[in-house]
Structure 1
Amino acid sequence: MNACTSLRTLVAPLLMVLALLGSPLQPAHAGSAPDVVRLTVVAGQDIQFTALTGEAGLPSGNVYGIAQDTQGFLWFATGDGLSRYDGYSLRTFRFDRDNANSLAHNTVVSILMGHNGVLWLGTTGGGVDRFDPVTETFTHHRHNPSSPTSLSSNSISRKGLLEDPQGVLWVGTNDSGLNRIDLLTGAVTYFRHDPKNANSLSSNNLESIYQDSERTLWIGTADAGLNRLDPVTGRITRYTSHPEDPHTLPNPRVHAVYEDRAGSGC
């Protein structure tokens, strides 16, 4: 049994959960509240869970993200390196001061499967790494104070990586705003908070990045609400939180953004 077959066996119970609980939503009966839906519950077998812990080789109990590559391997962004799971065992990649092509920093808080099969990794102190699973090498994108085209910060947000269809990597940081990296030319454009410019980001402390079906970017912050960015014009619109106004965001911290089938953001 190869790695892909083993992973399918591992994931099968999770798919069963979706089969049991993912039945089409049924509209509520007449007279019910308009926002009420009913779920059809189907009887089934108990679902068995298998824990991957330190005994199995997981380097840290903190797993910040999971991605699956085209070969079927699962990749875990952890507090102590990048781990690959083949359905049988775990292999971990860590920072090695004697190897310039090793992981930049062991605390990997964000992971994204790129369009061309590479992994993008966000770290808390080493910037962004591009990892090629075939050659098993890391290419670093870091902040360099003497370079105007480097990342604005080495501290990457947990939901701070997004690659769009135009070949642009968007990188959100914890302390220095948003980076737009043209993957073809390497050019970097910065979007930061400017207290004198109402059309700038509302904060440099970012939580999340999301692109909707119309390719508009939504940037959630840790302390100043939500930002809407038009990637063509670069124009930013702010959506802030004011407790006394019920028509604003209920909280200034926006952990994530999601677009439903109707095209509404949540």
Structure 2
Amino acid sequence: MSEYIPAITRGLVMLLITLSLPGLVRAQSVPLPQPQVITDRQGLPQAFVPDILQDKQGFIWVATRDGLCRYDGQRFKVFQPDPDGRPSLSFAGLNQLELDRHGRIWILSERMDIDVFDPRTETFTNISRQAAFRRMVKPGISYNLRIDQKDRLWLIVFGTGLFSWDLKKNRDGGFITNPGTRPLSAAMVYSIYRRGPTERSGWLR
């Protein structure tokens, strides 16, 4: 009856028979590095980690509820709000980290503060306290952020939609709409990401 079995099916049957024969196929073991448990022994200030990223120099940056942490493979350096009021992290409890094309880290806190951290100079710039940002975003709303290759800040505003702000021109782009000029609802936008480093368009989800 084998002549009635399609060629592709016969091929699959022969493959299964071959794999079932002992000694013909040997599994190759791939050595994997042992996982390392990172705790307060290395200087991690807090165990809850909502976000993590790696910068262009290879450092690991960790968002915690007790500040921003840089890990060099052996120990942590922790950045926290300055009690003396010098430019620093706005709030210790962090939600999100985002790396832009300049190597700066955008930081979103649990209170919806937005800070920009330059790892080269270890300096902070607060964005959410600027007058232009306050005009664009009303107090008391929640959002996630993205930075694109054209230095535009994108806010996924929960309960409202998607907002853009051109950082170079210090000008807001308003709420993004559908072709029929109907605003995007919060139920339609959960995240935003770029298709590739050279792409001009992105995807909404």
Q: TM-score, normalised by structure 1?
A: 0.56
Equivalent AA in structure 1 for residue 162 of structure 2: L
1:80 Cα offset (Å):
1.9
Structure 1's 177 and 93: CA in aligned 2 closer, same or farther, altered over 3 A?
A: farther
| Cα distance change, pair 126–201 in 1 and its aligned pair in 2 (3 A) | same
Instruction: Identify the structure with the greater helix proportion.
Output: 2
RMSD: 3.2
What is the match of residue 102 of structure 2? 116
Asked if the contact 1:75/1:82 (under 8 Å) is kept, the reply is yes
Deviation at 1:171, TM superposition (A): 2.3
Q: Give the Cα separation in 2 of the matches to 1:188 and 1:198.
A: 17
State the Cα distance separating 1:200 from its structure 2 match. Answer: 0.8
| Percentage identity across paired residues of the two chains | 31
Q: Does 1:127 align with 2:110?
A: no
- Aligned pair 1:201/2:187, yes or no? no
SS in 2 for 1:55: helix
Question: 2:108 touches 2:114 (CA, 8 Å); kept in 1?
Answer: yes
Classify the secondary structure of the residue corresponding to 1:63.
Answer: coil
Matches within 5 A, 1:216-231: 216-220=201-205
Residues 57-85 of structure 1, C-alpha deviations (whole Å, 9 max, x = no match):
21222212222222221111122211001
Output aligned runs, 1:42-121, within 5 Å: 42-121=28-107
List structure 1 segments (4+ residues) > 3 angstroms apart after TM superposition: 29-32, 143-157, 173-177, 204-207, 213-220
How far apart, CA to CA, are the structure 1 residues paired with 2:141 and 2:30? 45
Contact 2:100 2:148 in 1 (8 A): no
CA 1:64–1:113: 2 relative to 1, 3 Å: same
Q: Is the 8 A contact 1:156 1:174 kept in 2?
A: yes
Count of aligned residue pairs for this structure pair: 179
* 1:81-128 residue CA offsets vs partner (Å, 9 max, x unmatched): 110011221011112342241111222211111111211111221421
CA contact (8 A) 1:77 1:110 kept: yes
Cα offsets for 1:121-144 (capped at 9, x unmatched): 112214211101122121112167
Alignment-derived partner of residue 22 in structure 2: none
Counterpart secondary structure, 1:189: strand
Structure of greater Rg: 2
Amino acid at match of 1:216: S
Q: 8 Å contact 1:192–1:201 — kept in the other structure?
A: yes
Shift of 1:169: 1.9
Match of residue 171 from structure 2: 187
Letter of the aligned partner of 1:169 in structure 2?
L
Equivalent positions of 1:207-246 (< 5 A) are 207-212=190-195, 215-220=200-205
